[in-house]
């Protein structure tokens, strides 16, 4: 029984860790923005919403970003 619980916990941890990819966005002026999780692009407004490394939710205009790479 303990073996089954251990396997379930290990599987859950692997699945959760796979969902938390971090990204690096580069602005057109050369600033590197590190994010927690994948940034979300609002197609209506063109804003990119993201959570920075400190855990603060922020937004930036999509026109100011030159690249977005998963790290």
Number of domains comprising the chain: 1
Residue 66 lies in a domain: yes
8 Å CB contact between 64 and 27:
yes
pLDDT for 5 equals: 62
Residue 10 belongs to a domain: no
DSSP letter at 64 equals G
Edge to edge, the sheet with strand 32-41 lists: 57-61, 47-52, 32-41, 23-27, 65-70
User: Range of 25's domain?
Assistant: 21-70
Establish how many alpha carbons lie within 13 A of residue 24's alpha carbon, considering only the half-sphere containing its beta carbon: 6
Is the pTM for the entire model greater than 0.75? no
Kindly state whether residue 11 falls inside one of the protein's structural domains.
no
Q: What is the CATH number of the domain that holds 36?
A: 2.30.30.100
Classify residue 65: in a domain, yes or no: yes
Q: Is residue 2 part of a domain?
A: no
* pLDDT recorded at residue 41: 96
pLDDT < 50 positions in the chain: 14-15, 18
> Is 28 a member of any domain?
yes
Predicted pLDDT at 21: 86
CB 51 within 8 Å of CB 36: yes
């Amino acid at each position: 029984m303990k073996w089954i619980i251990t396997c379930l916990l290990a599987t859950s941890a692997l699945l959760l860790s796979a969902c938390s990819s971090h990204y690096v966005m580069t602005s057109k002026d050369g600033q590197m923005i590190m994010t927690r999780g994948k940034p979300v692009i609002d197609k209506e407004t063109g804003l990119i919403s993201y959570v920075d490394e400190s855990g603060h939710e922020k937004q930036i205009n999509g026109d100011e970003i030159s690249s977005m790479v998963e790290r």
